[in-house]
Chain A
Amino acid sequence: MLFAMVVAFGTLAVLLVDTLVTGWPQLDAQLFSDSPSTQPEEAGARPAILATLYLGLIVLLLSVPIGVLTAIYLEEYADRKRWWNRLIEVNIQDLAAVPSIVYGILGLAFIVRGVGLGRVVLAGGLILTLVVLPTVVVASREAIRAVPDSIRQGAFALGATQWQVVWRQVLPAAIPGMATGSILALSRAVGETAPLIMVGAIVYVAFDPTLLGPYTALPVQIYNWTKQPDPTFQTLAAAGAIVLLGIVLSMNAVAIFLRNRYRKQW
């Protein structure tokens, strides 16, 4: 058991320290201000970092409303005797187990080629939204389920309609749990690489990304640097990894803080 703990946390510590030590020399203003380049001394990750922030924003704006509404439907409205409601439920469980690269294939076939949106930021954001949607739904359902029934009964007894109960009683009580789950899902989306490779985050983007323009995301940029034979690019990859870890881990920290701060005993 001790061995298990040492391996798990030892690896985590070694990984963080190794990345920090390797990437530190390259972690400078240039990384945030310059574009990628074939010259490792001049290369930065500004377009990639910006695109990753855009992607995060798209995922946040799409996955949270859709995920929360789905959770409300399943918990508060759906009649479980109906086959289509059971189908939706089982389907979300199945989707959670689908490898993320398969979503990339979906994106390649439908959004990039099918609809003809092309390899743009919006396409990447849509796919990442679908990847994390099951996570948001599951977390939101748990948050809603944790709200005691007595609160609902009380509101109904005062003559509230079903939506009034949901909107004024259940949702406010469930918000901390939903926020925690959503932030964790968002941090997963920000670190996700495989589906973005498929929907065409390209290698060298020398300008700031726009919603409907070509882009490269930070994880994809790290992957591309890792592939370069020149060892200087490896340290760049480590520097990029520090930035990515910084974003992802601080989101996790916020989620954990929220969860502890608003933990309620009913």
Chain B
Amino acid sequence: MSAQDPTLGQAGTLALPRRRIRWGEKLVQGILFLAAAVSVLTTVGIVVSLLVPAGEFFREVSPWDFLTGTTWAPLFEPAQFGVLPLVVGTFVISLLSALVAFPLGVGVAIYLSEYARPRAASVLKPALEILAAIPTVVLGYFALTFVTPLLRDLGVQVEIFNALSASLVLGVMLIPTVASLSEDAMAAVPRDLRQGGYALGADKLQVSTRIVVPAAISGIIAAFVLAFARAVGETMIVLIAAGQLPQITFDPRETIETMTAFIGATGNGDVPTGSIEYKTIFAVGLTLFAITYAINLLSIRLVRRFREVYE
């Protein structure tokens, strides 16, 4: 950064006397570095706390059975540890909520960036932040006690706990994430491009959808991927509204279980340390961590690949 040490650059040319070592400054630097190290230690802690018990788990259950098994029944006799139902449940929920959040989020972003007057935007943006701030436990409660009965009234035959209402609410929860990141990307598109479009006789909608959105596509994709990763990792909404019935189904009206819901439901009891049930938490947690991490890496790749650079 620019503020490193302004005397250093001149020291060579001006031949200033050797600088006194300021111990106070050194101490401050040390403290600052320690604070920064906390986050690295957190990562190390997460990896270690996942890997060690998961390693013990995989000594008892073969990783192949874990990754390819289609029945998740850790508490039954004989216990079966196929993680696929949980993974499928997670992806059904995430994809459905993405179907809600991606188009609506981009719609909101286009409106805020291209159409809304400054006054309207100054009211709508904080409102969007408030939507983003609603605790997920409240959203889960809302999905279970409002959206599910509403779906039934509308004639959709859903179970009490179902993937559909959890996905709908989760999708709405993700709209602010998609919208605000996409809007940032759209705001960065130079005015010249828009004016070029207008000069060619395009109307506002054409400029928005054919010029601004393609130009901002790297930011929009990054927003999608980030929102998807959040959907994969979201716990409370699915735990409350989607249920705890691990099964491989692509019918969103049915009860399912996600990886996060399993961890949340199993982790809250007094699970004895060292039991196989205790270790499943870490095996599933490791799978979840690996998936979100891979999505994160993917997003970095995608952003690089689609980046449009402007002067």
The interface of chain A, by Cβ under 8 A from chain B, is 1-5, 7-9, 11-12, 14-15, 18-19, 22, 65-66, 69-70, 72-80, 87-88, 91-92, 94-95, 97-106, 108-110, 113-114, 130, 133-134, 137, 149, 152-153, 156-157, 161-163, 165, 170, 184, 187-188, 190-194, 197-198, 200, 219-220, 222-223, 226-227, 234, 237-238, 241, 244-245, 248-249, 252, 256
Nearest-Cβ distance from residue A163 to partner chain B, whole angstroms: 5
Closest chain A CB from B144 CB (angstroms)? 7
Q: Are B296 and A94 in contact (CB under 8 A)?
A: yes
- Report if A222-B45 is in contact (Cβ < 8 Å); known contacts: A66-B35, A73-B33, A198-B264: no
Cβ of B69: which chain A residues have Cβ within 8 Å of it?
A: none
Given A72-B32, A198-B263, are A12 and B130 neighbors across the interface (CB < 8 Å)? yes
- Given B39, B138, B226, B289, which contacts A70 in the complex, CB threshold below 8 Å? B39
CB distance from A25 to the nearest CB of B (A): 15
A77 lies within 8 A of B131 (CB) = no
B233 within 8 A of A: yes
Residues of A contacting B268 in the complex (Cβ-Cβ under 8 angstroms): 197-198, 200
| Residue in A109, A238, A244 whose CB lies within 8 Å of B49 | A109
Is B43's CB under 8 angstroms from A95's CB? yes
Query: Which of B40, B138, B267 interacts with A222 by CB under 8 Å?
Result: B138
For B38, what are the chain A residues with a Cβ–Cβ distance below 8 Å?
66, 70, 133
Q: Is the CB of B39 within 8 A of A100?
A: no
Contact with A along B221-247 (1 / 0, CB 8 A): 000001001101111100110000000
Which one of A101, A114, A188 contacts B260 once the chains associate, using CB atoms below 8 Å? Answer: A101
25 intermolecular pairs with C-beta atoms under 8 Å apart? A5-B107, A7-B172, A19-B141, A22-B145, A69-B35, A88-B37, A94-B43, A97-B226, A98-B289, A101-B285, A102-B289, A104-B267, A105-B50, A105-B267, A105-B282, A109-B50, A137-B39, A161-B24, A191-B136, A193-B136, A193-B235, A197-B264, A198-B264, A220-B137, A234-B145
The residue in chain B whose Cβ has the minimal distance to the Cβ of A203 is B268
Cβ–Cβ contact A101 & B32, under 8 A = no
* B17, chain A: closest CB distance, angstroms: 15
- List residues of chain B with CB within 8 A of the CB of A163: 24-25, 28
CB within 8 Å for A194 and B235 given contacts A9-B127, A105-B281: yes
Q: How far is the CA of A102 from the CA of B290 in the complex (A)?
A: 11
Contacts A95-B43, A156-B6; A101 near B104 (Cβ below 8 A) = no
Q: Which residues of A contact B13 (CB under 8 A)?
A: none
Given the complex, which residues of B lie within 8 Å of A130, measured CB to CB?
42
Contact check, A103 vs B33: say whether CB atoms are below 8 A apart.
Answer: no
A8 touches B35 (CB 8 A): no
Known: A5-B111, A191-B137, A248-B133. A100 touches B235 (CB 8 A): yes
Please count how many residues in chain B sit with their CB below 8 Å of the partner chain's CB atoms. Answer: 88
Determine the chain B residues whose CB is within 8 A of the CB of A220 once the complex forms: 137
Residues of A within 8 A of B232 (CB): 99
Say yes or no: is B58 at the interface (Cβ < 8 Å to chain A): no
- Taking A108-B267, A223-B140 as given, write out 5 further A-B residue pairs in contact, using a Cβ cutoff of 8 Å, ordered by the A residue number: A66-B35, A70-B32, A99-B232, A130-B42, A245-B138
In the bound complex, how far is the Cα of B129 from the Cα of A220, in angstroms?
23
A99 cross-chain contacts in B, Cβ below 8 A: 230, 232-235, 260, 288-289, 292
Which chain A residues lie closer than 8 Å to B267 at the CB level?
104-105, 108, 197-198
Tell me, in angstroms, the Cα distance from A88 to B39 when the chains sit together: 7
* Residues of the A chain whose Cβ atoms lie less than 8 Å from the Cβ of B2: 149, 152
Question: Which residues of chain B are within 8 angstroms of A12 by Cβ–Cβ distance?
Answer: 127, 130-131, 134
Q: Determine whether the beta carbon of A102 is less than 8 Å from that of B296.
A: no
Chain B residues within an 8 Å CB radius of A234: 145
Taking a contact as CB atoms under 8 Å apart, the answer to whether A1 and B133 are in contact is no
- Assuming the contacts A18-B146, A133-B39, asked whether A97 and B141 have C-beta atoms less than 8 A apart, the reply is no
Q: Provide the residues of chain A in CB contact with B134, threshold 8 Å.
A: 12, 15, 191, 245, 248
Q: Which of B239-298 contact A (CB under 8 A)?
A: 239-240, 260, 263-264, 267-268, 273, 281-282, 285, 288-289, 292-293, 295-296
